[in-house]
Structure 1
Amino acid sequence: MHIALVDSSRVVLKIITDQLEPRGHTVSTFTDSAAALAYVTETASVRVLITSLEVRPISGLELCWSARLLADAKRPLYIITMSSAQNARNLAEALDSGADDFIEKPPGAESLHARLRAAERLTSMQEELIRLAETDPLTGLLNRRAFFARAQAAADKVGPHGRMSAILADIDHFKRINDTHGHDVGDTVLQAAAKILGSEGIVGRLGGEEFAIVLPHKSLEEGEAHARRLRVLAADLRVRAARAPVRMTCSFGVSDWSEGATLEGMLKRADIALYEAKSSGRDRVVSAATDLILARAG
């Protein structure tokens, strides 16, 4: 596991690191608790935070509180606090501040490893629960709620002056596929489409046969090119069925991020472009910024 270790003493850091690294753990050490918090915040691979209560510039209890907020934001993280003065008050304060466990400093090797085994079991279960809560069970893509959460986080990171494009995709004549070949084949078609569409970006199934893709740091032109590649891949796909292979095509609407835009506004423009793609013949890509304007002018 990746462990962030925080203590004001480099001697303590070395003692504990020497206990952990031979067991295969990756250890990142910090004497500065603010730097540790910034690192844990930015490094999703960290699964365990071990911190002394006697750290600066933010206290060990404050570090526990802040780290617990990261875990509450759907991220597996196990927090162990340490203190050379082990007493009931320290234990209660640490647990009330969001710690999962408390250990005397410096910890004995067997006691520390036993706690890390417990941490590995718990974070693995948390990770699986998060995956189940965020995943569409049929396609394995993000479900609607998780997609919007990830896309909004990406939009916040891009900022008002950054680049981002969005694609909405819809399987053409999907009801006909279901009615003709049955829902089992329809499910296979959805899974095949998801495998193609999920190749890049933040990808989710919004419901039924509609999918959404957000491409952070990609321009409108790059989004259009990606949608065109996906259209060709979908059109070339054949899904096995009892009577004959099923041919699938998809329609695409593309939009981009602009200053003052919102995620909902960007996806709405892509949705309007998708409607134009479907109403003008299907199996095509329509851009909200160019093709749609030309279509309306005509």
Structure 2
Amino acid sequence: MHIVIVDSSRVVLKIVSGLLEPRGHVVHSFTDSAEALAFLSNQPEVRVLITSLQVRPLSGLELCWSARLLAEERRPLYVITMSSARNERNLAEALDSGADDFIDKPPGAEELHARLRAAERLTTLQENLIRLAETDPLSGILNRRAFFAQANTGADRAGNHGRLSMVLADIDHFKRINDEHGHDVGDLAIQAVAKLIATEGKAGRLGGEEFALLLPETGLEAAEAVARRLCLRVRDLRIRGARGPVTLTCSFGVSTWVEGDSVEALMKRADIALYEAKTGGRDRVVSAATDLILARTA
């Protein structure tokens, strides 16, 4: 596991690291609690935080609380506090501040490893629950709720002047596929298209045969290129059917971020573009940058 240790004493850091690294753990040590929090924020692979209560500039309790807020952002994280003064008040304050466990400083080897085994069990369970809550069970990509959460995060990062694009995709004549070849083949088609779209960025299934693709740091021209590439790749798909391979196509709508935008507006423009692609003959890409699409959003 990736583990962050925070203590004002380099001797303590060396002792704890010496207990963990021989067991294969990747240890990141800090004497500065603010630096440790910044590292945690940018390193989602970290599964355990071990911190003393007496650290600066953030106290150990403040660090626990901040780490717990990070964990609420859909990531598994186990927080252990250390203190040489083990008493009921310290224990209660640590647990109330978001800690999951409390250990003496410096910890004994057997106790520390036992607590980390418990941490691994719990974070693995959390990771599985998060995956189940965010994943569409048929396609294996993000479900609608999780995709919108990712899109809102991307929008916050884009701000007013950043780059962010969205591509909506819809399988053409999907009802015909189900009617002529059966729902099993329809499910295989959804899975195949979802797998393709997910190779290009953060993909989600919005429902039925409709998908969305979020492209951070991507302008309109690059997003159009992604959509055209996907359009061609979908044509090459061959889905196994009872009467032989089944082919299919998709229509695509593309939009990009503008100043003062919102996720809802970004998706609305992509949806209108997708509608134009469907009514204009299907198996094509339409961008919301055209005068026609802009007029329809007014």
TM-score normalised to structure 1 length: 0.97
Post-superposition Cα deviations, 1:53-110, rounded to whole Å, max 9, x if no partner, equal 0111111111111111111221100000000001111111111111111000000111
**Residue 86 of structure 1 aligns with which residue?**
86
**Residue 289 of structure 2 aligns with which residue?**
289
CA gap of 1:291–1:251, structure 2 versus 1, over 3 A, is farther
**Residue 57 of structure 2 aligns with which residue?**
57
After TM superposition, give the deviation of residue 290 of structure 1 in Å: 2.7
CA gap of 1:293–1:72, structure 2 versus 1, over 3 A, is closer
**Residue 176 of structure 1 aligns with which residue?**
176
Q: Secondary structure at the match of 1:99?
A: coil
CA contact (8 A) 2:4 2:28 kept: yes
Q: Secondary structure at the match of 2:142?
A: coil
**Residue 35 of structure 1 aligns with which residue?**
35
Separation in structure 1 between the aligned mates of residue 163 and residue 72 of structure 2, nearest angstrom: 29
Query: Which structure 2 residues correspond to residues 120-159 of structure 1 after superposition, within 5 A?
Result: 120-159=120-159
Q: Secondary structure at the match of 1:92?
A: helix
CA contact (8 A) 1:50 1:82 kept: yes
Letter in 2 for 1:108: G
CA gap of 1:294–1:142, structure 2 versus 1, over 3 A, is closer
**Residue 198 of structure 2 aligns with which residue?**
198
Letter in 2 for 1:50: I
Letter in 1 for 2:229: R
**Residue 97 of structure 1 aligns with which residue?**
97
Post-superposition Cα deviations, 1:93-144, rounded to whole Å, max 9, x if no partner, equal 1111111110000001111111111101110110010000000000100000
Separation in structure 2 between the aligned mates of residue 199 and residue 259 of structure 1, nearest angstrom: 28
CA contact (8 A) 2:8 2:31 kept: yes
Runs of 4 or more consecutive aligned structure 1 residues displaced over 2 Å after TM superposition: 290-296
After TM superposition, give the deviation of residue 4 of structure 1 in Å: 0.6
Q: Secondary structure at the match of 1:189?
A: helix
Separation in structure 1 between the aligned mates of residue 291 and residue 249 of structure 2, nearest angstrom: 20
Separation in structure 2 between the aligned mates of residue 283 and residue 291 of structure 1, nearest angstrom: 21
Separation in structure 2 between the aligned mates of residue 205 and residue 293 of structure 1, nearest angstrom: 23
CA contact (8 A) 1:252 1:277 kept: yes
Q: Secondary structure at the match of 1:85?
A: coil
Separation in structure 1 between the aligned mates of residue 290 and residue 176 of structure 2, nearest angstrom: 31
Separation in structure 2 between the aligned mates of residue 202 and residue 195 of structure 1, nearest angstrom: 11
Letter in 2 for 1:73: E
Separation in structure 2 between the aligned mates of residue 268 and residue 204 of structure 1, nearest angstrom: 16
Q: Percent identity?
A: 73
**Residue 8 of structure 2 aligns with which residue?**
8
**Residue 231 of structure 1 aligns with which residue?**
231
**Residue 17 of structure 1 aligns with which residue?**
17
CA contact (8 A) 1:286 1:292 kept: no
Separation in structure 1 between the aligned mates of residue 208 and residue 219 of structure 2, nearest angstrom: 28
After TM superposition, give the deviation of residue 294 of structure 1 in Å: 10
CA contact (8 A) 1:276 1:292 kept: no
CA contact (8 A) 2:71 2:77 kept: yes
Separation in structure 2 between the aligned mates of residue 197 and residue 24 of structure 1, nearest angstrom: 36
After TM superposition, give the deviation of residue 295 of structure 1 in Å: 11
Post-superposition Cα deviations, 1:194-219, rounded to whole Å, max 9, x if no partner, equal 11111121110000000000100111
TM-score normalised to structure 2 length: 0.97
Separation in structure 2 between the aligned mates of residue 7 and residue 55 of structure 1, nearest angstrom: 6
Separation in structure 1 between the aligned mates of residue 72 and residue 103 of structure 2, nearest angstrom: 23
Separation in structure 2 between the aligned mates of residue 167 and residue 25 of structure 1, nearest angstrom: 40
Separation in structure 1 between the aligned mates of residue 260 and residue 61 of structure 2, nearest angstrom: 39
Separation in structure 1 between the aligned mates of residue 232 and residue 289 of structure 2, nearest angstrom: 22
Could you say what the CA RMSD is over the residues aligned between the two structures, in angstroms? 1.4
CA contact (8 A) 2:239 2:247 kept: yes
Query: Which structure 2 residues correspond to residues 60-75 of structure 1 after superposition, within 5 A?
Result: 60-75=60-75
Separation in structure 1 between the aligned mates of residue 56 and residue 154 of structure 2, nearest angstrom: 32
After TM superposition, give the deviation of residue 155 of structure 1 in Å: 1.4
Letter in 2 for 1:156: D
